[in-house]
Structure 1
Amino acid sequence: MYLRITRPVVLLALMLSLSDPAYAQKTISGTITDASSGESLPSANISIEDTYRGTISNRDGRYSLTIPDSLLPATVVVRYLGYNTDKRTIERSSNSTQDFRLEPSTLQMDEVVITGGDPAIGIMRRVIERKQQWRKRLDTYRAEAYTRQTISNDTAIVMISESVSEAFWDKEQGHREVLKSRRQTANIAASDNFAGVSYFPNLYDDNIEIAGFQLVGVTHPEALTYYDFRLEDYRNIDDRVVYEISVSPARKLQPLFEGTIYVLDREYALLEVSLQPNDVVTFPQPVRDFNTFYEQQFNNYGKEFWLPVDMRIRGDIKISMVGLDFPTIRFRQVSQISNYEVNIPLPDSLYRKKEHITVDTTTTGADSLFVSAVKSVPLSREEEVAYSSLDSTATLEKAFKPSGFLARFIDEEGDENGNGDDGSGFLNRVPGSFSPVFRYNRVDEFYGGLKYDIGIADRVELNVRGGYSTGYRAWSYGGGLEYELVNAKGFDQSIGLEYLAGTVPQQQSAIYGAYFTTVTNLLGERDYYNYFRSEGYRVFTGLEFPRDLSAVVGFNSQEHSSLSQNTSYDLLGRSPRLQLNPDVEEGSLRSLDLRAGYNLDQGYNFGVTGIDKIAFSVELSDDMLGSDFNFARYTGSVQWSFPTFYQRRFLSNTLDLNLAAGTFSGRLPLQRLGLLDVSIDHFSPFGTLKTRQQTPYMGEQYLMLNAEHNFRTIPFEALGLQKPVDWNWSLIIFGGAGKTWISDTRKQAILDRMGYLVPETGDPHLEAGISLNGIFGLFRIDLARRLDQPAYLLNISVARIF
């Protein structure tokens, strides 16, 4: 005997399976108002008794709460500071519209205990002690979260994004979040929807990150040394006294909060906080104003742990610079966190990646969770209008179009079909990218050419370059091919081939490219480099290991030949002095090289930001390789940025060090001597010896140490000088020391053979100075004094920003 399953049976089963969720929960909604005045009560705390489930009302006092069928009948509890709590039993048959009218609560003064001094000190000491006790027992939690973010300009909402997610927290590993569903206004793509709760703080934490600043929380174990607490008033909720305590920073140079907190008596727990960062939380130009306000409620749901119910953020950001003024960016967020599961095992997969937020791609493709299952905070009337009116043409570029005389240089949007045209014509339609190459020096005279880069296959990169020198009337050309191999043994590998025939500097600078000196050369200044022509190839393999460690091994085969000076020019019409280009030791150089270190790909940025990089290299040349030269050259460099004082700030004080050294064995050719960088004209970025201009030191061996400490705006803040702080000026002290060595025999041999005296330091070069950083937000001015001989120099360089 068997059962025949017919099509109607299948359809009926499918209908029943699809309809289950509708019967498995009940959603109630309504408004929370003041029973006396009828005014709406925004952010009222609504929860289901004896559970970790709940929500909050929106700014109009409206709410929506979904109750699982398994909890029915359920007792819904509505709390609001200063009002009596209202409770109501909800049955499956209850009306879906449930309005709550809360009665103002009468203050019971007999609950207040006054002690010597400001009572807030004793209250906060108890809050901190209680928190440490229950936090020890809180290891993990999982919760359901809903987040809505809105962006407005000076006139209206220009963007809304929403998300439904699962939020996770681990005492040791921190926050993680998995987005389950999201929706947004039609003028932004889903990929631009970053709404989530894990980016935003729990104001009950000891340390709280706000926009890169590490703020001390108001319940930090040392909060009483960072903050001044003052009891301002008494509130109440039901028959319980709530202490209203004002918070103000006790340390004016630390990033801290100010505002108001509300503490429940007997429990000594935070019920609600309303805080904003102090004036220390500022950003460099072009950010002119950054104001944020944070409001958060907590609930223990009748249990042991006080957990966040919500997070409400208001923020205004003003960006302005000379010639450009953008409309104020107004940011609003409301997050609701509910249905906690406490001290449960969390999936190991959550913490395998560094990302705080990941996307569940199986659920984010539709709005179904928003339609049927989300216990979200209702949209305000203004937000409902924005959702219905914002379409794909209402772009953020239009909403925040700047004004000012530079505004016309901001890229315009493309045509109505979304097709922009920058006028490049043919080159725009060729795969890959073209970039111009040009320079001027006393050997090439004017050099012009092109470089072309293209990915010709998966993980295969090709570049080709070429150009012409009018000085010695020759073409330069070259290119490279690199193939990246993905290795499953813990490292990645690449192999490549490079070819070059062209002009190269005799010594390699760690700071200035050969093109950098073009302007000073045209102005008749002494050429920073000497040059020769190199023709040959290099084959190499690169290895990339975890933790940003890497190594490159290569073989070089090059033909080196001397070049002569061809021009001496001055745009200002002066008669520049003749500067010969010394010969090199000509011949075939074949060598093996190894370069290894940490963050090798991190390029130099003229001191704009701190760099953490370590590099070591070895080059071996021997006649066994068919080389005309026999030597071994060893070089190393360390650049590191150490945070020092005020590390809780977005930009802490920093100490930057630059160490460079080189030595050798055998007989180094002239074109392999080491170099210590100095200033070019009056431009002296970090890593140079600032009190020497145009002529770098050279030697077979060299050693240099540069150090500078950036005090940021702290000295001006301490002196009460607000204008320099507003202009984001900062003070930097710096020093440098360097020495090169070259044997007398080698020095004389170079002089006899090539008529060239190698510029060396002799005694160590020593210097120190002070900088004013952030002039117009772009520059720094250095006043440097040479210590080993009387000399002062005033230089300029690029401002240190980070």
Structure 2
Amino acid sequence: MKTTLSTLLFLCLFAGGAFALTIKGKITDETGAALPFATVLEKGTANGTSANGDGYYTLELSNGAHTLSCQYIGYKTVTKQVNGDATTTVNFQLNPQTLEVKEVTVKANGEDPAYPIMRKVIERRKYHEQLIRTLESDIYLKGTLRLQSKITSFMGKKLKVNDQDAVNDGLGLDSTGKGIIYLLEQYTQYAFKAPSKEYTRVVSVRQSGDPQGLGFNTMPPIINIYANNIKIMEGLNERGFISPANSNAFLYYRYKFLGSYMEGDRMINKIQVTPKRKFEPLFTGYVYVVDDEWVFQSVELTLGKESQIQNIDTLRLEQYYVPVAKDVWTIHSQVLYPVLNILGINISGNFLTAYKNMKINQPISDDRFAGKIISSYDSSATERSAAYWDTLRPVPLETDEVKDYRVKDSLYTFKKAKQDSLSRIPSRELGVGAFLLSGPTIKVGKNTWSMRPLISSIAYNTVEGLNATLGLRWDHRINEDKVYALELLNRYGFSNSRYNALLKYNYALQDPAWKGRTWRFGLQGGQYVYQLNNNDPITPLINEAYTLFGGQNYMKLYQARLGRFNVSREWGNGLKASLGLAYEQRLPLENTTDYTFSDKQKVNLTPNQPGTLPLFEAHKAAVINASISYQPGWKYTQYPKYKSPQSSDAPVFTARYTKGIPNIFDSKSDFDKWSAEVEHKIRMRLLGRLDYRVMAGGFLNRNYVGIPDMKHLFGNQTFLANPYLNSFQLAPYYKYSNTADFYVQAHAEWHLGGLLTNKIPVFRRLDWYLVGGSNALYINKDNYYAEVFVGLENIGIKMVRFGRVDLIAGYESGKGKPSVGVRIGFGEVLWQLLGVKNTRGE
């Protein structure tokens, strides 16, 4: 019975497909030029399609008679009758829309007729914004990025002809250096339920040159032009963009009535939208308003550098809406046109999303959104054939896109075979740059041997004098989910004549079915040198420079003979925990050299024992520490072979506990230290973003606390900024170290984005942004430290933006006048290069 029903169903589907009416054609203007992404609709329905960039379209209909309307922003709609049961060619030629400017009565205040029209749109803004309570739709996405000129130079360096040709071949470009560098097609089924439930099922995805490409786990959003503040996509502007239909739009925009025209029995008003002020997150362009219904029929809006857009140069948004019921208009197609210039490389593109089989405001069961899976892929999503895409694709491929698939897919097969053959051949990075900065490496199969770079291997301090560290590492990847590493650090101080060696073993295990769900184990043993504050507030290289040039030996060291074990677990759902055990024999160290480049600077040198701390005495310490952290609200994408988490915008809560255990192998440590903290980033749209970290802690027991176990501030006495939300940028390194019963520590930063600086001519063109905030520690009324700062961030050019400069005032207990200083930050890249830790640990 089941087989019979399946056969009948197949025959019915086959019959329906065999006798379907397929309409094909091209859409051009009056000169014969293609009208890219024009819309063709079956009149009286929401069924339709979009043309490709060359103006060609394909539309599937049922057999019989139909009325087609072809529409393009700024052009007259053309209607044609079709009747058939096979493939039929229907071409459309559209003429520019003739706008009729009616006689209007100009009021005494000289108000343009666009203003009363936009008032009525804004009055109904909230209705249209919240109109769609549920939505189900099939969505087809095609995204293309094209190189617009030959790559002749990179980062200011002119490339040789052979290198230019190699780049062309590697990217699959033509002889002129133009061509497609990214091509993606994706078909998904999307469901939405107000206010915020979403689910995306990726049925199929195809990326040129990468058969394993996964595309977008969630589709580019349907941009709600009626929202007061519009977020188009990540990375463009954290403040969002102000809609032309914003409730306070007249404070931001000027409107000009350009005329009206009839489309069927509806009058469409064309209105020009212009920002009142430059360098605000505002659009420029045109909106088309349906008279009497006061709804957008289409929009054509552009963002540019004067809109404070980031990472790209311009972005044009085109949307076309269709009526599906009385007073209900829904999106039919959306196209985004990005243009960017990266280091002299000009790229432009288009991302078309077409919507079909829409169901609006119909009941959707909450079971559709059950669990925390926001997106899932069909098991064969990346394995669909070219024939499958030919039958599914609602928008024909352009000529160069057809070629790109053919060339890139063949190139991928060739490169994959070549990589497989080369994988057995050792690869080496043994150049001068590798030895100096990144570290030389040799890789053979699953094994990688490496050495620490010289920049972090040769250093100078007043305790060891010139010291050299030979760091050797072996990584072995058992498989994609299991890897272990063995590292040996050999360190010798030429002034104190001490050799230290530390052996480390680390093992990581990744759940193959759940990315981010991992176990990590670590073992350490040997003798080594550590800073009194184990969070390493100053790096060896910076300390070396300050010591040699200024006689300021900020780094304070001790020696430990130790054994450590730690284990950490991440559940891949926002929860993670760690446990560590350590036994150390801690020994004090003293300065053994006073060498500086200038004898005058020697008077600035200080003992290795900070004067603000108790005397460091040799002792043994058995310590256990534990931490747990949780961020609620994580959601997931179910890929064909694994689940991948997506973190939320919720706060991160963390608790830590450290216990010094006495009388174990003569351990003298006897203390209980705790801390709890919350860290959060709050997006405030036009007001920017507020980041904060607040923590409290203290010692429940402090019978014996070694200096490394005290509560230390992450201080800073150099001109280079330490990691933000973690540091006190002017605080002396050990002045506020303590064993207090209770303390409170807080860090807050307000990132204003373009707010305020967009009023300053120089800064608004440079896209430099204001940042301000405060760091504070409070123990009691007689022991506190606070600093306030204001600075500029986003310093740099184009997409290379990592600089920040702050002016800081520090207020200390018992001190009348604040200390004032400037700190320069270069972000994560420099911190990693210099070995700066950006940890939140205690």
Query: Which of the five TM-score ranges fits, normalised by the shorter chain?
Result: 0.7 to 0.9
Structure 2 spans left out of the alignment, 5+ residues: 150-177, 431-439, 610-614, 633-648, 830-842
Equivalent position SS for 2:388 = helix
Matches within 5 A, 1:279-294: 279=305, 281-282=307-308, 287=311, 290-294=313-317
Residues 1:589 and 2:621 are matched in the alignment: yes
- Alpha-carbon distance between aligned partners in 1 of 2:586 and 2:714, rounded to the nearest angstrom: 24
Select the residue among 480, 484, 493 that pairs with 2:505: 480
Corresponding residue of 1:399: none
Following superposition, the deviation at residue 297 of structure 1 comes to 0.8
Rounded to whole Å, the distance in 2 between the matches of 1:487 and 1:152 is 36
For the pair 1:428 / 2:443, whether they are aligned, the reply is: yes
Structure 1 position 66, deviation (Å): 1.1
Aligned residue for 1:243?
269
The equivalent residue for 1:672 is: 709
The answer to whether the Cα contact below 8 Å between 1:176 and 1:198 also exists between their aligned partners in 2 is no
Return the alpha-carbon distance in structure 1 between the equivalents of residues 366 and 379 of structure 2.
Answer: 14
Report the counterpart of residue 636 of structure 1 in structure 2: 675
Q: Post-superposition shift, 1:58?
A: 3.6
Report the CA distance between 1:241 and its aligned residue: 1.9
- Matched residue, 1:201: 223
Pairing 1:724-739 to 2, within 5 Å after superposition:
724-738=763-777
Deviation at 1:525? 3.2
- Which amino acid in the other structure matches residue 550 of structure 1? K
Q: Residue 166 and residue 415 in structure 1: after superposition, are their counterparts in 2 closer, same or farther (change >3 A)? A: closer
Q: CA RMSD in A?
A: 4.7
| Contact preservation (8 Å) 2:205, 2:382 | no
1:242 deviates by 0.9
| Identity over aligned pairs, percent | 19
The answer to whether the Cα contact below 8 Å between 1:482 and 1:497 also exists between their aligned partners in 2 is no
Task: Map Cα deviations across residues 712-762 of structure 1 (whole Å, 9 max, x no partner).
Answer: 44333224x1x2223333334444444779xxxxxxxxxxxxxxxxxxx97
Q: Which amino acid in structure 2 is aligned with residue 76 of structure 1?
A: L
**Which position in structure 2 is the counterpart of 1:374?**
393
- Aligned partners of 2:286 and 2:301 also within 8 Å: yes
Aligned partners of 1:292 and 1:414: how far apart in 2? 37
Letter in 2 for 1:798: G
Q: CA deviation at 1:414?
A: 10
Shift of 1:516: 5.5
Q: Partners in 1 of 2:711 and 2:218 — Cα distance?
A: 52
How far, CA to CA, are the matches of 2:325 and 2:513 in structure 1?
Answer: 51
Q: Is the 8 A contact 1:456 1:462 kept in 2?
A: no
Whether the 8 Å contact between 2:469 and 2:491 is mirrored in structure 1 is yes
Counterparts of 1:168 and 1:491, CA distance in 2: 28
The offset of 1:261, in angstroms, is 0.8
C-alpha distance 506-205 of structure 1, shift in aligned 2 (>3 A) = closer
User: Alignment partner for residue 552 of structure 2, among 526, 539, 542?
Assistant: 526
Matches within 5 A, 1:621-770: 621-623=660-662, 625-636=664-675, 638=677, 640=679, 642-643=681-682, 647-648=685-686, 652-654=688-690, 656-657=692-693, 662-663=698-699, 664-685=701-722, 686=724, 687-691=726-730, 696-701=735-740, 704-719=745-760, 721=761, 723-738=762-777, 764-770=784-790
Do the aligned partners of 1:461 and 1:481 also contact (CA within 8 Å) in 2? yes
1:290-317 per-residue CA deviation (whole Å, 9 max, x = no partner) reads: 2011111111246653121211222211
Residue 210 of structure 1 aligns with an amino acid whose one-letter code is I
Paired position in structure 1 for 2:85: 92
Structure index of larger Rg: 1
- Judged with a 3 Å threshold, the aligned counterparts in structure 2 of structure 1 residues 182 and 333 are, in CA distance, closer, same or farther, namely same
Deviates more, 1:530-539 or 1:14-23: 14-23
Q: Contact 2:268/2:289 (CA < 8 Å) preserved in 1?
A: yes
Q: CA deviation at 1:666?
A: 1.7
Aligned length: 730
How far residue 710 of structure 1 moved from its aligned partner, in angstroms, is 3.8
SS at match of 2:442: helix
Q: Which amino acid letter does the alignment assign opposite residue 96 of structure 1?
A: T
**1:675 counterpart SS class:** coil
Q: 1:144 aligns with which of 138, 141, 145?
A: 138
Q: Distance in 2 between matches of 1:383 and 1:621?
A: 66
Alpha carbons 2:202, 2:375 under 8 Å: kept: no
Residue 836 of structure 2 corresponds to: none
Secondary structure (helix, strand or coil) at the match of 2:88 reads coil
Q: Structure 1 residue 585: deviation in Å?
A: 2.5
Q: CA deviation at 1:768?
A: 4.0
Deviations 1:673-727 (A, max 9, x none): 33234323333434544445566543333665454444444333224x1x22233
Q: 1:550 to 1:223 in 2, by over 3 A?
A: same
1:283-362 equivalences under 5 Å are 287=311, 290-301=313-324, 305-319=328-342, 325-342=343-360, 343-345=362-364, 348=367, 352-353=371-372, 358=377, 361=380
Give the drift of 1:240: 3.1
- Are positions 1:449 and 2:470 aligned together? yes
**Aligned in 2, Cα 1:718/1:697: closer, same or farther, shift over 3 Å?**
same
Aligned counterpart, 1:45: 39
Question: In structure 2, the residue corresponding to 1:369 is in which secondary structure?
Answer: helix
Shift of 1:566: 3.0
Deviations 1:392-430 (A, max 9, x none): 6699xxxxxxxxxxxxxxxxx999979895444873227
Looking at structure 2, the residues matched to 675 and 173 of structure 1 have their Cα atoms a distance apart, in angstroms, of 43
Change (3 A) 1:265 1:328: same
1:798 to 825, 835, 838: 825
- SS of the residue 2:558 aligns to: strand
- Partner SS, residue 576 of structure 1: helix
Alpha carbons 1:451, 1:466 under 8 Å: kept: yes
Q: How many angstroms apart in 2 are the aligned matches of 1:67 and 1:485?
A: 49
**What is the SS of the residue equivalent to 1:123?**
helix
CA contact (8 A) 2:202 2:381 kept: no
Q: Does the aligned pair in 1 maintain the 2:519–2:570 contact within 8 Å?
A: yes
- Distance change >3 Å, CA 62–CA 165, structure 1 → 2: same
Output the CA distance in 2 between the equivalents of 1:99 and 1:775. Answer: 52
Cα 1:110–1:211 change in 2 (3 A) is closer
**2:171 corresponds to:** none
Q: Find 1:211's aligned residue among 224, 230, 233.
A: 233
2:460 alignment partner in structure 1:
440
Contact residue 443 and residue 472 of structure 1 kept, 8 A:
no
CA apart distance, 1:534:
1.7
8 Å contact kept, 1:772–1:780: yes
